[in-house]
């Protein structure tokens, strides 16, 4: 019998972390081995995730495990960076949904993943629809030469613009061979929103809008679970394209 994949989830007290954690508990081949959450430390998981049964106690640091694990991180870049490096140093694979890292931090994580021979995924948006949005935008950019990005998120999201919007802008800049900062990004942070991305292309006499909306954070769980299951197939690489990790 195959051993389940053990996962330590950072961001257990957050909205996205809660949905990811519940999906892990419902999976037969993935086991929740630990949970990290600064605001709810000391409480059990089932005390903050309605409808689940788990006696795992939430901690503020990586738990000391005598077995390999996968760190799944949905927090904020300041603490996540050092936590990810610690996990890599232990020989753990890392699945990172946290955004807002600097270029130097991303490079450092990539070097550590390569040096320790573990698998790493740094994905700005784990929803399959957002991945498809990227492909549609890249195709449209072959025929249009001007566009602006509009992204909107909940008011608690710290990075502005979002990692997904920056990735889309970088993609357009590469296709059009122009500086990324010449691609306008309009960012909104308002109550009632979750995650919304739109790329508006313009040409004489016509407008093309490519848009993706997340109304519930359960949209991310399928991509996260597939990444957890496949990340060990990519030793030494920090993957930033969800398409490499999902089964089609």
Q: What is the pLDDT of residues 107-119, one digit of tens each?
A: 999 999 999 999 9
Q: Is the pLDDT of residue 150 over 80?
A: yes
Q: Are residues 97 and 39 in the same domain?
A: yes
Note whether 96 and 54 are same-domain residues: yes
Q: Read off the pLDDT of residues 15-63 as tens digits, 9 standing for 90 and up.
A: 899 999 999 999 999 999 999 998 888 888 888 888 888 889 999 999 8
Domain at 185, CATH number:
3.30.360.10
Residues 133 and 115 in one domain: no
Is pLDDT at 248 greater than 70 in this prediction? no
Q: Report the percentage of the chain scoring pLDDT > 90.
A: 76
**133, 114: one domain:** no
The percentage of residues in the chain with a pLDDT greater than 70, rounded to a whole number, is 99
Residues 194 and 80 in one domain: no
pTM, two decimal places: 0.85
pLDDT higher than 60, residue 206: yes
202 and 91 co-located in one domain: no
Query: Taking 90 as the threshold, does the pLDDT of residue 177 lie above it?
Result: yes
Q: Are residues 195 and 76 in the same domain?
A: no
* Burial classification of residue 228, based on how many CB atoms lie within 10 Å of its CB (0-12 exposed, 13-18 middle, 19 or more buried): buried
φ/ψ of residue 205, rounded to 5: 80, 5
Which range is most confident: 46-50, 160-164, 210-214, 243-247? 210-214
Residue 82 CB partners (closer than 8 Å, separation 6+):
none
Is residue 172 within 8 Å of residue 148, measured between CB atoms? no
In this structure, are 195 and 77 located in the same domain? no
Q: Do 18 and 114 fall into the same domain? A: yes
Taking only the tens place, the pLDDT of each residue in 72-128 is 999 999 999 999 999 999 999 999 999 889 999 999 999 999 999 999 999 988 999
Do 98 and 72 have their domain in common?
yes
Structure tokens at 198: 């739109």
| Domains of the chain: total | 2
Kindly list the strands in the beta sheet with 120-122, ordered across the sheet, starting from the edge strand earlier in the chain. 58-59, 30-36, 5-10, 70-73, 93-96, 120-122, 238-239
Residue 158: pLDDT band (50, 70, 90) is confident
Say whether both 138 and 208 belong to one domain.
yes
Domain holding 194, by residue range, is 128-215
C-beta of residue 172 within 8 angstroms of C-beta of residue 183 = yes
Which three-class secondary structure state does DSSP give residue 44? Answer: strand
- Do residues 147 and 72 both lie within one domain? no
CATH number at residue 69: 3.40.50.720
* Mean pLDDT for all residues in the chain: 93
Active site positions, annotated: 153, 157
Q: Which of 241, 234, 196, 191 is nearest to 215 (CA)?
A: 196
């Amino acid at each position: 019998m195959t051993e389940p994949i053990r996962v330590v989830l950072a961001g257990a007290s957050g909205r996205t972390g809660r949905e990811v954690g519940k999906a892990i508990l419902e999976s037969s081949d993935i086991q929740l081995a630990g949970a990290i959450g600064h605001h709810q430390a000391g409480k059990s998981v089932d005390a903050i995730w309605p409808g689940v049964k788990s006696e795992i106690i939430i901690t503020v640091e990586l738990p000391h495990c005598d077995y390999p694990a996968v760190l799944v991180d949905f927090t904020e870049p300041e603490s996540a960076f050092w936590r990810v490096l610690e996990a890599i140093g232990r020989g753990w694979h890392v699945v990172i949904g946290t955004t807002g890292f600097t270029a130097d931090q991303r490079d450092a994580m990539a070097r550590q993943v390569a040096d320790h021979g573990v698998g790493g995924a740094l994905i700005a948006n784990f929803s399959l629809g957002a991945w498809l949005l990227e492909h549609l935008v890249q195709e449209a950019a072959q025929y249009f030469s001007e566009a602006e990005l509009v992204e909107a998120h909940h008011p608690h999201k710290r990075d502005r613009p979002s990692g997904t919007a920056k990735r889309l802008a970088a993609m357009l800049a590469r296709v059009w061979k122009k500086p990324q900062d010449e691609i306008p990004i309009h960012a909104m942070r308002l109550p009632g929103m979750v995650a919304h991305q739109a790329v508006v292309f313009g040409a004489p006499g016509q407008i093309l809008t490519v848009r993706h909306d997340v109304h519930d954070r359960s949209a991310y769980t399928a991509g996260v679970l597939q990444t957890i299951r496949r990340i060990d197939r990519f030793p030494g690489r920090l993957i930033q394209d969800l398409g490499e990790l999902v089964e089609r």
